[in-house]
A and B are shown apart, each in its own frame.
Chain A
């Protein structure tokens, strides 16, 4: 499988005044094209720092992040990010359609193709009827759907999702999880999904990277050998799901106690 995202020797140290804080000690992993990988870690494990380094929003202290073989030094063209704070990530002065369309305009996608992409993306997230609304007229879950539509219309090589469902209610969350699985399968996009929710990570991912506490390293790269067809009821009640969930849970507990990989 060709590599989509390659992270090698990534290190991030924040220096403010005289004190320095080592957020990420050393991270090495790669994500193959078309994979769906989840990253979980205890709170304060530097998940957001990692994501900002990968997306080119933050300069790493050492190491490289490569997207499709090109080192990331600024937000790369082939990457789309869905943030946790949907309400602050969508532009409230634009309609849903304009929000999805703006990055495409910027990419100089011809008008006809743009309309097509926006329509498809809105249809894929089930928001065709809300194209003319403003984001603040929609519920939280719908707003996050708009953010997802914006990301997939952008046709990224890698889709980064930073705890995207942490701020929506449980039922909406389950729907959105299924939506992500469905879009991933249909569009063949590579997804890196950061979450603090163990169940969500196991349910969604093909692999789950468990982070240690700070300074962050990878505690274990857990392969999720659940069947490809997943649904909220059967998958979550499968014995294998429980085993994997328990395993990741244990890892997180160890991470909280400060355990490091041997």
Chain B
């Protein structure tokens, strides 16, 4: 019963919005604002098997690779910087500067060096944009590790590798997750943006092509599809987080109760 109530709360607003859109656009004659019924009608034929294998999946693959590269690099460098005070003092202002640079402006620069038709440049764009929140949050998390916990690890002679895995990474994982979540939404944005410049295939590129060829209902389907994919990715992320950080939720609840 509680599950049903929660579900009802979660779904109420989307349903209302879709219904409003449906009826508000029902009789629309405008080319740019086609009726929702028409958009839904062309959805299936627009995103056929060929588009999935040729556009959607390659886009998602580039996102996955770029995001994972950013995750590995960000956590690795973040741990390194976070554990060593001198390195931190040396790097941090510079990192803050790079974080402040909006990732899309990197696209022309990357295009200059790597060209912009291949996969590499797009993956690099996504990775370069995603790495900052992960990196800076990891630094923050590692810096905030409890002294007593680190002393305990030393007293029981945990090796550097065990300390890294069992103490540093686990202890910083709540912050790392926060950074990774920010990075995910940046990644989705960059997945699209990286395809707007080099006019070839991909989910973002398809949307632009629909718009340029005045296939407006198809363009809308692309936007809806993007929204759904972004939502599913965030649900997936939340699931992983829910499982990996169960201890952290419990700890916080226990702290509040005490």
Chain A residues within 8 Å of B, Cβ to Cβ: 55, 57, 74-75, 77, 79-81, 83, 85, 88-89, 91-94, 102-103, 106-107, 134, 136-137, 150, 154
B151 touches A106 (CB 8 A): no
Q: Determine which of A80, A85, A92 lies in contact with B156 in the assembled complex, contact meaning CB atoms within 8 Å.
A: A80
Residues of A close to B255: CB separation below 8 A: 136
Which of B2-10, B54-62, B162-170 is found at the contact surface with chain A? Answer: B162-170
B155 touches A55 (CB 8 A): yes
Residues of B close to A85: CB separation below 8 A: 148
Given contacts A81-B152, A88-B147, 19 further A-B contacts (CB under 8 A): A55-B155, A57-B155, A77-B157, A79-B155, A80-B155, A81-B151, A83-B151, A89-B148, A91-B166, A91-B167, A93-B171, A94-B166, A102-B166, A103-B158, A106-B159, A106-B162, A134-B250, A136-B247, A154-B156
B158 touches A106 (CB 8 A): yes
Chain A nearest CB, measured from B2 CB (Å): 23
Report the number of A-B residue pairs with Cβ-Cβ less than 8 Å: 68
Chain B residues within 8 Å of A, Cβ to Cβ: 146-149, 151-152, 154-159, 162, 166-167, 170-171, 173, 247-248, 250-251, 254-255
Among A77, A85, A106: residue with most chain B CB under 10 A? A106
Chain B nearest CB, measured from A83 CB (Å): 6
A6 to B83, CA, bound (A): 33
Can you give 14 A-B contacts (C-beta < 8 A)? Answer: A57-B155, A75-B155, A81-B152, A83-B148, A88-B147, A89-B149, A91-B167, A93-B170, A93-B173, A93-B248, A103-B157, A103-B158, A134-B250, A136-B250
B155 touches A88 (CB 8 A): no
Residues of A close to B154: CB separation below 8 A: 57, 74-75
A79 to B152, CA, bound (A): 12
CB-nearest residue of chain B to A81: B155
A148 to B152, CA, bound (A): 13
Chain B nearest CB, measured from A138 CB (Å): 9
Chain B nearest CB, measured from A73 CB (Å): 13
A154 to B152, CA, bound (A): 13
A91 to B166, CA, bound (A): 9
Chain A nearest CB, measured from B218 CB (Å): 48
Chain A nearest CB, measured from B254 CB (Å): 4
A92 to B252, CA, bound (A): 11
A83 to B149, CA, bound (A): 10
A44 to B186, CA, bound (A): 51
A83 touches B247 (CB 8 A): no
Chain A nearest CB, measured from B97 CB (Å): 30
A136 touches B157 (CB 8 A): no
CB-nearest residue of chain A to B245: A93
A93 to B255, CA, bound (A): 15
A75 to B148, CA, bound (A): 14
Q: Determine which of B146, B156, B254 lies in contact with A136 in the assembled complex, contact meaning CB atoms within 8 Å.
A: B254
CB-nearest residue of chain A to B258: A140
A92 touches B251 (CB 8 A): yes
A93 touches B157 (CB 8 A): no
CB-nearest residue of chain A to B159: A106
Among A74, A83, A92: residue with most chain B CB under 10 A? A92
CB-nearest residue of chain B to A104: B156
A102 touches B170 (CB 8 A): no
A75 to B159, CA, bound (A): 12
Chain A nearest CB, measured from B173 CB (Å): 8
A184 to B167, CA, bound (A): 30
A150 to B152, CA, bound (A): 11
B247 touches A93 (CB 8 A): yes
Chain B nearest CB, measured from A143 CB (Å): 10
CB-nearest residue of chain B to A147: B152
Residues of B close to A150: CB separation below 8 A: 156
Chain A nearest CB, measured from B1 CB (Å): 27
A137 to B246, CA, bound (A): 13
A88 touches B149 (CB 8 A): yes
B152 touches A89 (CB 8 A): yes
Residues of A close to B155: CB separation below 8 A: 55, 57, 75, 79-81
A91 to B145, CA, bound (A): 11
Q: Determine which of A77, A137, A154 lies in contact with B250 in the assembled complex, contact meaning CB atoms within 8 Å.
A: A137
Among B146, B171, B173: residue with most chain A CB under 10 A? B146
A134 touches B146 (CB 8 A): no
Question: Which 5 residue pairs are nearest across A and B when measured between Cβ atoms?
Answer: A103-B156, A88-B148, A136-B254, A93-B247, A81-B155
